């Protein structure tokens, strides 16, 4: 199960993480978000030793969504060393997620 990042935990869990972090910006009512949820969960299972995976509910953490200019959901942002390095917007395929992840994990 992916971590849930909130306004209180985002800086310590994501920005301060010693490993890359995949953050899935979503909302409970978003159907495309639900479509990619199994893909995100699979990444956590496959790369859990080298990657932290978590979610930000944009309805509950509007400040984080605004800070990272999340205008559409789902948006996935990959962080490494506290920096947002890769951004994927929309429901994408597993291969697109893998390609973006490869850039961050290499």
Domain tally, the chain: 1
CATH of the domain at 47: 3.40.30.10
Pairing mode, strands 52-57 and 83-89: unpaired
Q: Which residues are catalytic?
A: 30, 33
pLDDT digits (tens, 9 = 90+) for 67-98: 999 999 999 999 999 999 999 999 999 999 99
pLDDT of residue 48: 80
* Neighbouring C-beta atoms of residue 44, cutoff 10 Å: 16
Q: Is the pLDDT of residue 103 over 80?
A: yes
Take residue 22 and report the two structure tokens written for it. 């995949």
The answer, yes or no, to whether residue 100 has pLDDT greater than 70, is: yes
Residue 26, strand partner residues: 57
- 36-58 pLDDT tens trace: 999 999 988 888 889 999 999 99
> Residue 2 pLDDT > 90, yes or no?
no
Check residue 47 and report its DSSP letter: H
| CA distances to 2, 9, 13, 60, 92 from 99, in Å | 20, 28, 24, 29, 11
Range of the domain at 51: 3-105
Does the pLDDT at position 1 exceed 90?
no
């Amino acid at each position: 199960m992916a971590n849930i990042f909130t306004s209180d935990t985002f800086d310590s869990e994501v920005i301060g993480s010693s490993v890359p972090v995949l953050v899935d910006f979503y909302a409970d009512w978003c159907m495309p978000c639900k479509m990619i949820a199994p893909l995100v969960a699979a990444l956590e299972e496959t790369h859990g030793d080298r990657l932290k995976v978590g979610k930000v509910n944009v309805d509950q953490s509007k400040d984080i969504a605004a800070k990272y200019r999340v205008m559409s959901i789902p948006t996935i942002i990959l962080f490494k060393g506290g920096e947002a390095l890769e951004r994927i917007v929309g429901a994408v395929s597993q291969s697109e997620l893998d390609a973006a992840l490869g850039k961050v994990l290499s």
